[in-house]
């Protein structure tokens, strides 16, 4: 059964059950010599992809000020020109960057920077409000994060943002925000059929938060396009993968994760879905709060993902079979090389 919309936590904002991640459309940017983007992009095709997403019923677009050092926000603004009221824009703050050099320069968790960052994002997005504003510093201490709540509430009162949240894979961080922040409505975290997040989903249930899911397709591994012999260019964050990016190693898909994809492929595609569509269907079946945001750069990618939106969650029996296949992987003692890297990334 199709699932087309979900509530954005306790905000009262209705969004499509599938969002579009806009990290990749930011194009190249770096921290020193470490690439943080997904390589070169065609801005015109990115604009077409966003507009096609709207046509397919996708209303949630998730970006960050640092993606492409501001470029992702600018491309999204161009794509949404004349259609702003049809979209729910989510962006993030916390990392500092230089737009001219497209370099990441650090981070700033001060209330003063929060206010300056939202004004800069509003300008780049060419809008008078942001629907969901998310703290991007995943491992910020709870006291420092809670010191930002007052400013976030002021921004809501002033009409500059409608709601706010935290992009973090730390359940204690998400719980602290959910408990203390009246306007908090979402936690963005990693979730995929390859990497479950039961503790974070429990936090979302307890505090009535939306679960916005980054990496729902394993940064491409769950599209089925990569094999053990695939290589990625060095201007792609996956091609020169930093330590926190566990899906790829040495410019190639990590073999331990390819084995996991192989283990669930048949169950995810049993009813005729593509591998990517099955992976998205698993996320919707996992929880009624989940909103996956797979990244897209092309119209074709948008169309394949949108087809999953109309097919909906995996049926109960198919979901159970995927879980059966995953049980051995989840309980097996992993070799050191198989363990996901922790802590989660400081970038992007």
Query: For residue range 333-342, what is the model confidence (pLDDT) as tens digits?
Result: 344 334 443 3
**pLDDT, greater one: 332 or 121:** 121
CATH 3.40.50.1220, applies to 5-223+276-314 = no
Distance CA 194, CA 199 (A): 15
pLDDT of 138:
97
pLDDT of 331:
63
How far CA 176 is from CA of 140, 146, 172, 231, 320, in Å, comes to 12, 8, 6, 41, 33
Mean pLDDT of the chain: 93
pTM of the model: 0.94
CB under 8 A, 24+ apart: contacts of 167-172: 167/92, 167/134, 167/135, 167/136, 167/138, 167/214, 168/135, 168/138, 168/139, 168/140, 168/344, 169/138, 169/197, 169/200, 169/344, 170/138, 170/139, 170/344, 171/199, 171/200, 171/202, 171/203, 172/142
Contact 185, 163 (CB under 8 A): yes
CA–centroid distance for 288 within its chain: 17
Distance CA 21, CA 53 (A): 11
pLDDT (tens digit per residue) in 138-194: 999 999 999 999 999 999 999 999 999 999 999 999 999 999 999 999 999 999 999
State yes or no: pLDDT of 319 exceeds 70. yes
State yes or no: pLDDT of 114 exceeds 80. yes
pLDDT (tens digit per residue) in 14-58: 999 999 999 999 999 999 999 999 999 999 999 999 999 999 999
Distance CA 176, CA 300 (A): 39
């Amino acid at each position: 059964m199709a699932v087309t919309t979900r509530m954005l936590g306790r905000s009262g904002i209705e969004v499509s059950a599938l969002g579009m991640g806009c990290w990749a459309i930011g194009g190249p940017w770096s921290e020193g010599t470490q690439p943080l983007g997904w390589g070169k992009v065609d801005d015109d095709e990115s604009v077409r992809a966003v507009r096609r997403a709207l046509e397919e019923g996708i209303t949630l677009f998730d970006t960050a000020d640092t993606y492409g050092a501001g470029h992702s926000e600018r491309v999204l603004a161009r794509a949404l020109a004349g259609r702003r009221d049809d979209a729910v824009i989510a962006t993030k703050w916390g990392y500092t960057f230089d737009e001219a050099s497209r370099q990441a320069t650090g981070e700033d968790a001060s209330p003063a920077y929060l206010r300056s960052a939202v004004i800069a994002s509003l300008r780049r997005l060419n809008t008078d409000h942001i629907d969901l504003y998310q703290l991007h510093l995943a491992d910020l201490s709870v006291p420092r994060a809670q010191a930002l709540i007052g400013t976030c509430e002021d921004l809501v009162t002033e009409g500059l943002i409608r709601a706010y949240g935290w992009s973090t894979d730390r359940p204690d961080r998400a719980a602290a925000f959910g408990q203390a922040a009246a306007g908090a409505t979402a936690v963005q975290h990693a979730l995929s059929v390859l990497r479950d997040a039961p503790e974070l989903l429990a936090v979302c249930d307890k505090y009535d938060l939306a679960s916005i899911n980054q990496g729902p397709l394993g940064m491409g591994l769950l599209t089925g396009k990569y094999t053990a012999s695939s290589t990625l260019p060095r201007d792609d964050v996956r091609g020169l993968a930093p330590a926190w990016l566990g899906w790829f190693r040495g410019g190639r898909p990590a073999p331990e994760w390819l084995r996991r994809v192989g283990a669930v492929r048949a169950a995810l595609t049993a009813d005729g879905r593509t591998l990517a569509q099955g992976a998205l269907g698993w996320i919707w079946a996992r929880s009624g709060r989940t909103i996956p945001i797979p990244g897209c750069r092309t119209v074709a990618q948008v169309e394949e993902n949108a087809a999953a939106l109309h097919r909906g969650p995996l049926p109960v029996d198919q979901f159970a079979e995927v879980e059966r296949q995953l049980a051995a992987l989840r309980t097996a003692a992993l070799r050191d090389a198989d363990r996901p890297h922790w802590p989660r990334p400081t970038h992007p």
